[in-house]
Every structure is written in C-alpha cells, then in structure tokens.
Structure 1
Amino acid sequence: MGRVLAITGIVLSVAYAVFAWWLVGDRIQTLQTMGLNEVGDFLAGAFGPVAILWLVLGFFQQGIELRQGTKALLLQAKELQSSVEQQKELVAVSRDQVNAELEAAQEAKAQRVRAIRPFLVFSSTGGSHSGNDHGLSFTIKNLGAPISHLVMKFEGDMTALNRSIDALDKGGHIEFQYKFNGTGEGLADLMTLNYLDSDHNQGEAQFKIVVDTSSSLPRIKVVA
C-alpha cells in the first residue's frame, strides 16, 4: 500500500508540475522583476498544493504503518498467549508425571514396609497346676519377616517376664511361662514389643494378656 501511495504522489506531483508550467510557463521571466515578497508568495502558492498533497499522503502512510504495527503486536500477543498455554500444558504434564512418580514411590515404599513387617501370633500352650499354684505357658510366633533387637516389656502383673532377644526369624517363636497363686481372676498385663525390621526401622506390637478363669483351670488368652 505504501508503494501505491508513493506512485500516486509522484504521478500527481508530475501532473501538477505540468499544469503549473502550462499555467505560468510563459511568465517565468517576470519573476526577475518581482519583489522578494511577491516571489515568496508565488512560490508558496505554486508549491503549497504539492506540499499539502505529500502531507496527506504521509498521513495515510502513517496510518497504514500504525495499522500494520497494531496487527504485528496483536499477532505477537496471540503467539505469546499460545506459548503461555503450551507452557501451562507442559507444566501440567510435568506435575502429573511428578505426582505419578511420587505415588509410585510411595506405593513401592508401602509395599516394602509390608514385605518386611513381622506377623506376630500369640498362642496359649497350656500350663501346669498344683493346687492354687499355676504356671501358664504361651508363645509369640513370627509368621512374617525377620526382626531383630526385640525388647519385650510387660506392664501389670507379668513384669517378671520382661526380656530382650537379639533376633526373631520367620517361623521363630518365643516361649513364656507365667506363674501365680490363686484363681488368677483379674490378673492382666499389656505386653509391648519393640523391634527393628530388616531396614532397621523401629516397630512396635502390643498384646493385652489376661488370665482366663472361665473354665475349670485358668489359662492365658489375648483380649483385642
């Protein structure tokens, strides 16, 4: 469009020059006899239309350039917005990937914890009775993963059974015998087992142990 305006300006300027020459060409010699003010008025009147023409053409050219600049800015803004949207999508994908990896890591950690967790089972193994003297036997068997550095503490009537054991492998067991005199009614204890698993993480298990007097002879049982 700018080239069209330039060609238009040149054509109109040439046409105006030809017209001006036709109009005053035979009176050019009279300029030498005119005063300076008159010559100035003549030149202003002769070239004023050309100056106005190029001023108008420049105004249109500036408008075209402004519109082109505006379109370029809008295009850049659109491209920038598109880039921002793409970055948001990339961030979302990265965040989802990181979350998935964290969930996978947490699940793997949870599986590992379950894999190295012991499964401690309490069982009563009978006892001996002589009048009011009783000796009740029970065991703790490990059906899960091996553990080490066991510390067993009884809180209540069986504190004499406190002990420490270096390790308890899978399938291993610990035997106890609790001795008391009388019916055994009301005798109870809370047994806490502290240990280290295969990854040397601390663990704990608890059993509430009571003397069951509901049968003819007392026996040991676990109450949940």
Structure 2
Amino acid sequence: MKDNRFRFGLIATIAWLGLMTWQWYSVGLPDKLNERGVFFAGFFAPLAFLWLVLGYLQQGEELRQSTEALRLQAEELRNSVEQQSQLVEVSRRQLEQEAHALQEERQRHTDALRPRFQLSHNGYAGANGYFNVPLVFRNEGGASVDTTVLLTAPNGKVTVVSHELIRRGGERLVVVNLTNGHWQGEIEWKDESGNLGRELFALRMDGSTLLFDQPTPSESSHM
C-alpha cells in the first residue's frame, strides 16, 4: 500500500510538472513580479496538497499498524499471564498434595507409635459391697514408656497406679477395690516419640456384676 501511494504520487507529480512546463512554454511567464508569484503558487500548491494528503494517509496506515502491533503484544502478554497463572496454580496444587501426603505420613507414623490398651479382668471377689478386682491392661499398640492409670470413685476419690513401661503386647495387672456405682478411669501415656495421650474407660459395679467400657481416646489424645 505504501509503494502504491508513492508510485501514484510520483506519477501525478511528473504529469503535473509536464503539464505546467508545457503551460510555461506555451503561455510564458507573466511580466509582473506579483503575477509570477501567483503563477508559481498555483504551480506548486497542488503538488504540496497532493503530498500532504498522501503523507496523512500513510501516517494513518502506520498508526493503524502500530495499534495492531500493540494489540497483538497485549494479547501475547495476556496469554503469557494466563499461562503463568496456570503454572502457579499447578505448582500450588502440587505443594498442597505434597504437604497433605507429608501430613498423612506423619499421622501414620504417629498412629503406629500410639499405645492402644484393651481392658479385661481375671475374676473378682468381695463381700458387703466391696470387691477386689484384678484389672488387666494389655497394650495392643506402640510401646508406652510412661503409663499412669487413674480411677475416680463415685465419691470422687482418685486412685493412681503408675507403670513406667508397657511394651507392645505387654500387660499390667492393677488390683482395685471397687464398690457399687460408676467409676471413671483414665490411662495417661507417653509414646516413644514423647507424644502424650489419654484414653478413657468406665467401670460399673451393680450388685455382684462388673460392667466396663473399653478405653477410647479422648478429644486430647495427643497433647
């Protein structure tokens, strides 16, 4: 388009110059100086206007091309930003997955070390509402390096029995004196990594019948 305008302007200029030259030699120059000024003004004014118009059109085309280039650059920048955002989102999800996997692995390790106690008894005997009950605490989980059994009587009295170490599969026998009513029990322990925990259980003497609930983790099983 630029070359076409230039060729058109060059051809028009040559034709105009030829026409004006022919006019010059056919008619001749005016004798008066002011008339010569008018002649030359009329001679060059169309050429100046022609090239002014061609320059204006060329400038408009260059402006449109610059605008299109800026639009393409903006589009490329927007696409680049979107790609970077997608990469950031993918990286964030990967980090979340890795953090979640690490948390799960830590939780599995903690659960593997956690002591788990099962409660049973080896029979009991008593009279006049008092019973001697040998309770057996068997550890089915990880080793408990520091174990304490607390038993709260219906009247609020607390009995504490401590054992330093109960390994996996190990048992401890605790003989307690029970009366009729509800007894609340706790097993506090520390695993091999130093995590503290607590399990709750309950006993109930009803006449000569002993009922109990197995130990279950409390809400603060890892302190």
Q: Please tell me the TM-score bracket, short chain as reference.
A: 0.7 to 0.9
> Structure 2: which 5+ runs fail to align?
215-223
Structure 1: stretches of 5+ with no match in the other structure: none
SS in 1 for 2:169: coil
Inter-partner Cα distance in structure 1 for 2:15 and 2:129: 140
1:141 aligned partner: 138
- Once the 2 structures are TM-superposed, how far is the Cα of residue 160 of structure 1 from its aligned partner? 5.9
Q: What residue number does 1:99 align with?
A: 96
TM superposition score normalised by structure 2: 0.84
Aligned to 1:206: 200
Q: Does the C-alpha gap of structure 1 residues 34 and 54 become closer, same or farther in structure 2, counting only changes over 3 Å?
A: same
Q: Is the 8 A contact 2:151 2:159 kept in 1?
A: yes
Alignment of 1:191 with 2:179, yes or no, is no
Report the alpha carbon displacement of residue 212 of structure 1 after superposing the two structures with TM: 4.1
Correspondence for 1:222 among 182, 194, 212: 212
CA distance 1:118–1:18, shift in 2 (3 Å): same
Contact 2:124–2:134 (CA under 8 A) maintained in structure 1: yes
Contact 2:118 2:137 in 1 (8 A): yes
Aligned residue-pair number: 213
Seq. identity, %: 31
Are the counterparts in 2 of residues 152 and 191 from structure 1 also a CA contact under 8 Å?
A: yes
Distance 1:141 1:212, change over 3 A: farther
| 1:163 to 2:153 alignment | no
Residue of structure 2 in register with 1:19 after alignment: 19
Tell me what 2:4 maps to.
4
Distance 1:99 1:12, change over 3 A: same
User: Residue 26 of structure 1: CA displacement?
Assistant: 5.2
Q: For the residues of structure 1 that align with 2:102 and 2:24, how far apart are their CA atoms?
A: 96
| Structure 1 residues 44-63: aligned runs within 5 Å | 44-63=41-60
Could you list the runs of 4 or more consecutive aligned residues of structure 1 that deviate by over 6 angstroms after TM superposition?
Answer: none
CA contact (8 A) 1:148 1:195 kept: yes
Q: Structure 1 residues 111 and 95 mapped into 2: Cα distance closer, same or farther (>3 Å)?
A: same
SS in 1 for 2:78: helix
Alignment of 1:106-121 (within 5 A): 106-121=103-118
Q: SS at 1:106's partner residue?
A: helix
8 A contact 1:136–1:220 mirrored in 2: no
CA contact (8 A) 1:124 1:139 kept: yes
Secondary structure, counterpart of 2:164 in structure 1: strand
- Show CA shifts across 1:178-209 (max 9, x none): 235xxx322x3211122222221111111112
Q: Distance in 1 between matches of 2:203 and 2:93?
A: 49
* TM-score, normalization by structure 1: 0.84
Output the aligned Cα RMSD: 2.3
**In structure 2, the residue corresponding to 1:167 is in which secondary structure?**
coil
